[in-house]
Structure 1
Amino acid sequence: MNKELARMANQPLKVLLISGNENHKWHNWEENTPLIQEALQSDNDIEVTVSLDIEVLAGDLDGFDVLAFNYCNWHDPTELSEQAKANVIGFAEQGKGIVILHFANGAFNFSLPEAGASDWPEYRRIVPRVWNHHGESAHDEYGTFTVRMLDESHPITQSIATFDIQDELYFKQEGDVDIHPLYAAVSNLTKQEEPLAWTSGYRNSRVYQTLLGHDRHAYAVPEVRETLRRAVRWVARKL
Structure 2
Amino acid sequence: MTRRLLVHTRTTDYRHDSIPAALAAVGGLDGFTVDATEDPAALEGDLTPYAAVVFLCTSGDILTDAGRAALAAAVESGTGFAGLHSAACTEENWPWYTGELQRSRFAGHPPFGTGVVLVEDHAHPATAHLPAEWTWSDEWYDFDPVPDPAEVAVLLRGGEDRHPLAWHHRQGRGRVFFTALGHDSAAYADPAFLAHLRGGLEWVCEGRR
TM-score range, shorter chain: 0.7 to 0.9
Q: What percent identity do the matched residue pairs reach?
A: 27
1:180 Cα deviation after fit = 0.6
Once superposed, which parts of structure 1, at least 4 consecutive aligned residues long, lie more than 6 Å away?
Answer: none
From 18, 22, 28, the equivalent of 1:42 is 28
1:182 Cα deviation after fit = 0.5
Q: Following superposition of structure 1 onto structure 2, how do residues 1-239 of structure 1 map, counting pairs within 5 Å? A: 10=1, 12-21=2-11, 23-25=13-15, 27-28=16-17, 31-32=18-19, 34-70=20-56, 71-73=58-60, 80-109=63-92, 119-124=93-98, 125-131=100-106, 137-161=107-131, 162-174=133-145, 178-187=151-160, 192-237=161-206
Q: Specify the structure having the higher radius of gyration (Cα).
A: 1
TM-score, normalised by the number of residues in structure 2: 0.87
Aligned-partner SS, 2:117: strand
Specify the code of the residue in structure 2 equivalent to 1:155: P
What 5-or-longer segments of structure 1 have no aligned partner?
A: 1-9, 110-118, 132-136
Specify the code of the residue in structure 2 equivalent to 1:146: V
Aligned-partner SS, 1:64: coil
1:175 Cα deviation after fit = 5.8
TM-score, normalised by the number of residues in structure 1: 0.77
CA distance in 2: counterparts of 1:155 and 1:40, whole angstroms: 16
C-alpha distance 184-176 of structure 1, shift in aligned 2 (>3 A): closer
CA distance in 2: counterparts of 1:41 and 1:52, whole angstroms: 15
C-alpha distance 60-218 of structure 1, shift in aligned 2 (>3 A): same
1:232 Cα deviation after fit = 0.6
Specify the code of the residue in structure 2 equivalent to 1:196: L
Aligned-partner SS, 1:153: coil
1:108 Cα deviation after fit = 1.7
RMSD: 2.2
What 5-or-longer segments of structure 2 have no aligned partner?
A: none
